[in-house]
Structure formats: C-alpha cells, structure tokens
Structure 1
Amino acid sequence: MTFRRLPLGLHAAFPALVLAAALAGCASPGSRFYTLSPTGDAARTAPAAAVSAGNPAWLIELAPVDVPPQVAKAQFVVQTDATQVRVLEQERWASMPGDEIRRALSGDLTQQLNTIDVYGSPHPDNVPVYRVSVNVQRFESWPGSHALIDAVWSVRALDSQTVMTCRSVLNEPVGEGYDALVVGHRRAVADLSQAISSGVRALAAVPLASAPASAKGGATGGAKSAVRMKAPASIACPQMVPAAASAG
C-alpha cells in the first residue's frame, strides 16, 4: 500500500479546513428569546409607580405561578391541533413560563394597586397583606389563531384569613408569527391582573365585625371596647371578573 503526500501548501492548510468543516456541520439557526414583562412605555413609567407606593395602604404577596408540566420549559410549545403540540427549539422564553407570568403579573398588580409585592421580603406588621396565588391550568399557543390562559387564582387576607377563589379564562386572538403569540399572552396576563386587582379591592372593602370586650375586661375597665372579629371565611368573586366563579 502506498500513501500519497499532500502538497506542502495544502498540508499546512488542512487543519484549518477540517475545523471549518466541523463548524459548518454544527452550525444552527440562532434562538430568539421572548418575555412577558412590561416593555416600552409601561416599563418607563414603572419607576414613578414604585416611588408613589412608598407608604401603601396594603401589600401583596404574589406566590410563584404554577403552569402545566407540558409547557413548563424554555422552548415554545405550540398547538398544531386539539391533541398534538410542537416544541420549537429556536423560539424560547427568556425565563421559564411560570416565572414570566409571575413577573408580568407582579408588575401589573403593583401599578394597578399602587402597592409593593413583598413576597420573600420582610414587611411591617401593621399593614394589611393580601396573598395572591395563581394556578395556570391551561397555557395554550395557537399560531395565527389565539393565545389562551385558563387560571384559577385566589386572594387571601392574612389578618382575617378571608379568601376569594376565582377562575378566569382569557382567550386573545392573534395574528401570524410568534411575536403575535407573545403579544396575545401579554394581553391575557394584563386581563388576569385586572381581575385579580378587582379581587384585592373587593376583599379590602369587606368590613370586619366587632363585639364588646369580655366581661372580665368590662368589669376592670368599666368601659366597653371593641375587639376585632374575623370576616367571612370566603366571599364571591367580583362581577367584572371574566369567567369567574367563587369557590364557596
């Protein structure tokens, strides 16, 4: 067996040619990343809203948002029909979908309620706190058709433990393209935040009952004082909440 020697010039360039061929074989289209967080004018007005919420009438705690396991991934998961989905490697969320929804909701709620989201942060004991929980049961992306969010959410007053549990189904029509899908989901999140804001306001407006002090306190003090009583264990959802139903 005989071996042919490469010409000197080609021999010197051979490693570079091999590297270029390997890189060409591994090359793939770049990924695009999308977010549901407020942008543009909404983002520019956020600092002013934060300053005005320095002494809010109440606080909120927005817990991490649950989403269905099949869409809990960085890649877009789009519906092709009622029983099939497609996972898109090049179209991705900037963070996991549950985190994207929570960040967008937190930004909307703090502005709409002129408050602060204190989840995971210390807060004063004398300021009412409303804990918000969101469980997204459906997060569907239909390219060129619609974006759908079906969520069960609750608001709980931590001082009285009064709770409101509701369901909102938000279905936003979208045009062609993945940018349109993101815009549709952003509108659905905005509608969801409006529903939750109305729930917080309704819960904050529930009067707390009062009763005379105990006989022992009345005997020693001689004056009647009021003690704070718990509000009803649950209340109905606001009428304006889309597709909402109270949990009883």
Structure 2
Amino acid sequence: MMQHKTVQAMLAMAAALLLAGCAATPPEHFYSLSNGMGVPVPAAAPAGYYIELPAVAVPQQVARYQMVVSTEAGRIDLLEHERWSAMPASEIGQALSLAITGELGTVDVFRTPTTDGAPVYRISTNVQRFESAPGRYALIDAVWSVRLVGSSKVLTCRSVANEPVSGGYDALVAGHRRAVTRIAADISKAVRGLASGSNAGC
C-alpha cells in the first residue's frame, strides 16, 4: 500500500512539473512587414503599364523564420519566440510589391499573363543587409534594378534605408516597414521615369 502511494505521489509530482514547465514557456509572436503597412492610395488614372517583382534575395543568415537581432556588443541572437509570419524574402517582396503598386497605381503581374500588350517593368531586388537592432535601428540595404521586359536596357541602383527605432519588437518591425516604404519610393521613381521616357537615374 505504501509503495502504491509513493508511485501516486511521484506521478503527481511529475505532472505538476510538466504543467509548470508548460506554463513557463513564453508564447510565440509572429510579425509581418506587409500587414498594417501604410500603402499609398493608387492614382485615379491607371498607370498604363505593369510591374513584375520576382522573388527577393536576402542574406543567408537571416533567411529563417526566427528573428535575427544584433546586440550592442556585436553579437547576433536568434529569437525562437519572435518570428516572421513568412520567410523574410517573402515578407520583403510582398511589402515592396504593395508599396510600389500603391505608389504607381498599377498591379504586380509576376507569374500572371498579360493580354493587352501593356509594358511590363521587371524589378529585381537583392537585399545585401537586413539588420534588426532593437532599441537602435532597422536597416535594409538593397541593390535593385528595373528593366522593361523585352528591352536590354537596365537601370541598376542601390538604396540604404536606416530607420531609428525605440525599444520592443513591434517598434523594430515598424522600422523595417518604413525602410521598405523608402526603398519602394526609390524604385517607383525609377519606374515612373523609365515609363515617361525621361533619363531615369538612381
């Protein structure tokens, strides 16, 4: 009988420890660059052309769902409970697409056939740096190019958006949204210049 009570007590203790462990596990938080991002209202008149934004390239060290942050000591931390809702390349690509199409009043026709013969401007984006420093800054350094599909002429530029941020991961993500918006404005300006036939530059 005593042995039976001892086994019961051990099982109860194990269950209590398991529940305590579950309760101590912090919840996961998911963040998106495109959700809640302020997108410009499209122009009243259609642009008369489309854009095409293929997959964005990002550095390998940040190509993961977990948020990768830099500390003041120069250390890189991988946050298991602070995660992107999609891979950073997809997050940046979708946010850029929304911002650019909103700015230009057009649509992104990547992997979508067009039948009316309207010009299509292909935008290729290679993110060189995607840095997250909570309480300090959110930085996106991107090399991008714009080319009219069917033409050999390419405009290649670089945009560096470094946004100061306050503490907390919500503020950090908001800083990255602002950085995306700044880069999208640079790209939109280039597309608009090419479409108008002017000497578009960076």
Give the TM-score normalised by structure 2.
0.87
Q: Is the 8 A contact 1:56 1:116 kept in 2?
A: no
Q: Secondary structure at the match of 2:3?
A: coil
Counterpart residue type for residue 51 of structure 2:
I
Q: Secondary structure at the match of 1:6?
A: helix
Q: Secondary structure at the match of 2:106?
A: coil
Counterpart residue type for residue 155 of structure 1:
V
The one of 49, 67, 85 aligned to 1:76:
67
1:1-248 pair list within 5 angstroms: 4-7=2-5, 11=8, 18-27=14-23, 28-39=25-36, 42=38, 49=42, 56-81=47-72, 83-124=74-115, 126-206=117-197, 237-238=201-202
Q: Secondary structure at the match of 2:91?
A: helix
Q: Secondary structure at the match of 2:177?
A: helix
Counterpart residue type for residue 192 of structure 1:
I
Counterpart residue type for residue 201 of structure 2:
C
Rg larger for: 1
Cα shift at 1:17? 5.5
Q: Is the 8 A contact 2:51 2:107 kept in 1?
A: yes
Mind listing any 5+ residue stretches in structure 2 that lack a counterpart?
Answer: none
Q: Secondary structure at the match of 1:5?
A: helix
Mind listing any 5+ residue stretches in structure 1 that lack a counterpart?
Answer: 208-234, 239-248
Q: Is the 8 A contact 2:101 2:107 kept in 1?
A: yes
CA–CA separation in structure 2 for the residues paired with 1:91 and 1:84? 17
Counterpart residue type for residue 2 of structure 2:
R
CA–CA separation in structure 2 for the residues paired with 1:124 and 1:82? 55
Cα shift at 1:5? 3.1
Q: Is the 8 A contact 2:194 2:200 kept in 1?
A: no
Task: Using the aligned pairs only, state the percent identity.
Answer: 51
CA–CA separation in structure 1 for the residues paired with 2:195 and 2:79? 43
Cα shift at 1:130? 0.2
Cα shift at 1:160? 2.5
Higher relative contact order (CA 8 A, sep 6+): 2
CA–CA separation in structure 2 for the residues paired with 1:189 and 1:77? 18
CA–CA separation in structure 2 for the residues paired with 1:192 and 1:142? 19
Cα shift at 1:237? 2.0
CA RMSD of aligned residues (A): 2.7
Cα shift at 1:122? 1.0
Cα shift at 1:161? 2.8
Q: Is the 8 A contact 1:140 1:148 kept in 2?
A: yes
Cα shift at 1:4? 3.2
Instruction: Name the stretch that deviates more: 142-151 or 128-137.
Output: 142-151
Counterpart residue type for residue 105 of structure 1:
L
1:98-155 Cα offsets, whole Å, 9 max, x none, are 1110111111111111111010111125100000010000011111111111100000
